[in-house]
Chains A and B, each alone.
Chain A
């Protein structure tokens, strides 16, 4: 199954139909998604500022990290679930959208940045945990994280402005009619009404 067929299947699923039919589902789920993303960005931002040496310097990094991480993951999980619900009813449109692809790329980048930090600088955290001056690796990870998450948010918003329009005419659509011929039934072949 290719990506387009997969997107079509998602778009025609029962959940998508429910999203399309409900007046309240979209605004409620969208609001939760925004709050979840704000939680992710807000908690990560606290950690990033600590990594950059701007905030919470009197507290060990491991404590700041430990206290915020659970909220980050909770927010992220909520954002993934609500994001999937927003994605499914318009899946075909989103998979063809550049801003959406760039947002997903940003999420992958954020994951890589976090993994690199965890497997390198964080492993030596005991040596700089309470230091006011954080190591270069920590500062790079913090700055990269802020930039990437800002990128994710901007691309997320940009999706709504760039979903665009698919002007292609379906292959089965015959527009070679001519009402001047008096063909009252010239649409009967495809008339579904």
Chain B
């Protein structure tokens, strides 16, 4: 009986060892694809991660005059994650294309964990012209001279 139980345990370990490496870098189930949020913000940093490039940005207020701050006066930072750095570079998204203080508008599917980050999915991201925020309540796609990265429009937010 002990041998059978041990055998089952070992078989389980073997199955786990074969199944786990078959997954991708991380499952997209960590993002809530039923929710879409759209932000306009100011780039603070780009992390050219090989697996998933990340852009960190300070969220702008609805008036598009300042960044939003929390109770302690700290800017609220969100991160948008996308394809790997090489794949993103094919869309023109790179560290050089998004220097600090670039104003961007992007849609993302937020993390289920509640952390302020999300996956860009397949929608376009827009970069405002230098020093030109969009009008109140609008996004960079409404600003003349803005640049689109990827295809399509900014989706309608669900929340």
Q: Give me the interface of A with B, judged by CB distance under 8 Å.
A: 19-23, 25-26, 34, 37-38, 41, 45, 49, 52, 54, 86, 89-90, 93, 146, 150, 153-154, 156-157, 160-161, 163-167, 169-170, 173, 175, 177-180, 183-188, 190-193
Q: A167-B77, A167-B79, A192-B99 are in contact. Are A187 and B131 (CB under 8 A)?
A: yes
Contact check, A21 vs B86: say whether CB atoms are below 8 A apart. Answer: yes
Residue among B17, B26, B67 making CB contact with A160, cutoff 8 Å? B26
Contact check, B45 vs A170: say whether CB atoms are below 8 A apart. Answer: yes
Contact check, B79 vs A89: say whether CB atoms are below 8 A apart. Answer: no
A154 to B21, CA, bound (A): 9
A188 to B65, CA, bound (A): 16
Q: A49-B10, A169-B77 are in contact. Are A154 and B131 (CB under 8 A)?
A: no
Contact check, A54 vs B7: say whether CB atoms are below 8 A apart. Answer: yes
Q: Which residues of the other chain, A, contact B25 by a CB distance below 8 angstroms?
A: 160
Contact check, B50 vs A19: say whether CB atoms are below 8 A apart. Answer: yes
Q: A21-B89, A161-B30, A166-B47 are in contact. Are A26 and B21 (CB under 8 A)?
A: no
Contact check, B79 vs A187: say whether CB atoms are below 8 A apart. Answer: no
Contact check, B13 vs A146: say whether CB atoms are below 8 A apart. Answer: yes
Contact check, B117 vs A165: say whether CB atoms are below 8 A apart. Answer: yes
- Is there a chain A Cβ closer than 8 Å to B48's Cβ? yes
- Is there a chain A Cβ closer than 8 Å to B1's Cβ? no
Q: A26-B51, A175-B75 are in contact. Are A191 and B58 (CB under 8 A)?
A: no
Shortest CB-to-CB span from B97 to chain A, Å, is 8
Size bracket of the B interface:
35 or more
16 pairs of residues in contact across A and B, judged by CB atoms under 8 Å: A25-B86, A49-B10, A90-B50, A93-B49, A146-B10, A153-B20, A160-B26, A166-B47, A166-B56, A169-B58, A169-B75, A173-B100, A175-B75, A190-B101, A191-B130, A193-B102
**Closest chain B residue to A34 by CB distance?**
B21
Contact check, A191 vs B131: say whether CB atoms are below 8 A apart. Answer: yes
Residue among B6, B20, B30 making CB contact with A154, cutoff 8 Å? B20
Residue among B7, B27, B86, B115 making CB contact with A20, cutoff 8 Å? B86
- Within B106-134, the residues touching A (CB, 8 Å) are 115-117, 130-133
Contact check, A161 vs B50: say whether CB atoms are below 8 A apart. Answer: no
**Closest chain B residue to A29 by CB distance?**
B50
Q: A26-B51, A191-B101 are in contact. Are A180 and B44 (CB under 8 A)?
A: no
- Within B1-18, the residues touching A (CB, 8 Å) are 3, 6-7, 10, 13-14, 16-18
